[in-house]
C-alpha cells in the first residue's frame, strides 16, 4: 500500500514480515524521505514491543512513534495486571481498535506485527484498522509491489530462519533498486524466536546480500 500524502509531502518505505518454521523475520529499509529529499539514511523502522513481539512501520514517522510508545506502555501494564506477557494477537487487536477509532482523522501509518505465541505469527494492520492474520508473509510501504514479487516467487512453507532472512533481505533489496522512496545505508532485520528477539548487525546482513548476488549469477 502506498503511504501516503499529508500536507502534500510524500513518504515511503518497504517493510516485510516472513513466517519461518520456528521464527518470524521482520525486515525494512533504512531511508526516510521528505518529499524528494532523502532525509535520513539510517532510520529505524522496526521496533520491539516486548521480548517476543516487534513491529514494523510505514508512513508518517510521528504517527507511528506515538502509537508504538502507547503499545509498549499497554504491554507493560497488561503483564503487570495479568502476570503474563501480552500476545501478538492482543497487540494487533489493540492497534486495530486505536486506528479504527480515529478513521475520520486517521494516523497515516501501516504496521506489521510479528510474534511467537507459541507458533510464529504475523498480523498486518492498515491505517483504518483492518487487521489481517498472515500465514505466510506480509509487506507494506511504497515498495510493496516489488517486494511482493520476490516473496511470491521465493517463499516456501517450512523455511528455516536463515532461508527466511535471505528472502526478506532480497525483497527489501529489490525495492531499494527500483522504488525511489526505499533505500538507506543498509537493511534492518529482526528475528523473533521462542528465545527472544535478535537484531542482525549490518555486517551479517551484508553477507546475506552478497550470498544472494552470487547465487543469481
**Residues 23, 109, 31, 199, Cα dihedral to 10°:** -20
125: nearest Cα among 93, 154, 86: 93
Q: In the structure grid, which three cell numbers stand for residue 88, read together? A: 501478538
Report residue 74 CA to chain centroid gap: 20
At residue 45, the 3 state secondary structure works out as coil
| 121 is known as an active-site residue | no
CA distance 94 to 153: 33
At residue 83, the 3 state secondary structure works out as coil
User: Hunting for cell 522504488 — which residue is that?
Assistant: 179
> Among the options 11, 13, 33, 182, which is catalytic?
13
Q: Catalogue the active-site residues.
A: 13
Amino acid at each position: 500500500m502506498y503511504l501516503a500524502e499529508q500536507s502534500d509531502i510524500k513518504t515511503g518505505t518497504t517493510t516485510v514480515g516472513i513466517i519461518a518454521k520456528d521464527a518470524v523475520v521482520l525486515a525494512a529499509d533504512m531511508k526516510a524521505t521528505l518529499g524528494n529529499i532523502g532525509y535520513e539514511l539510517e532510520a529505524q523502522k522496526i521496533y520491539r514491543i516486548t521480548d517476543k513481539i516487534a513491529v514494523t512501520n510505514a508512513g508518517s514517522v510521528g504517527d507511528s512513534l506515538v502509537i508504538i510508545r502507547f503499545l509498549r506502555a499497554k504491554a507493560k501494564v497488561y503483564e503487570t495486571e495479568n502476570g503474563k506477557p501480552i500476545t501478538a494477537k492482543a497487540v494487533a487487536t489493540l492497534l486495530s481498535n486505536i486506528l479504527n477509532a480515529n478513521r475520520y482523522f486517521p494516523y497515516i501509518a501501516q504496521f506489521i506485527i510479528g510474534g511467537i505465541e507459541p507458533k510464529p505469527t504475523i498480523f498486518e494492520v492498515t491505517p483504518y484498522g483492518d487487521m489481517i492474520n498472515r500465514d505466510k508473509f506480509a509487506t507494506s510501504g511504497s515498495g510493496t509491489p516489488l517486494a511482493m514479487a520476490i516473496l511470491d516467487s521465493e517463499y516456501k512453507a517450512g523455511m528455516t530462519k536463515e532461508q527466511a532472512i535471505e528472502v526478506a533481505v532480497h525483497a527489501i533489496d529489490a525495492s531499494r533498486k527500483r522504488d525511489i522512496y526505499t533505500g538507506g545505508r543498509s537493511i534492518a532485520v529482526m528475528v523473533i524466536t521462542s528465545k527472544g528477539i535478535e537484531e542482525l548487525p549490518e555486517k551479517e546482513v551484508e553477507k546475506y546480500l552478497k550470498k544472494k548476488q552470487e547465487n543469481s549469477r
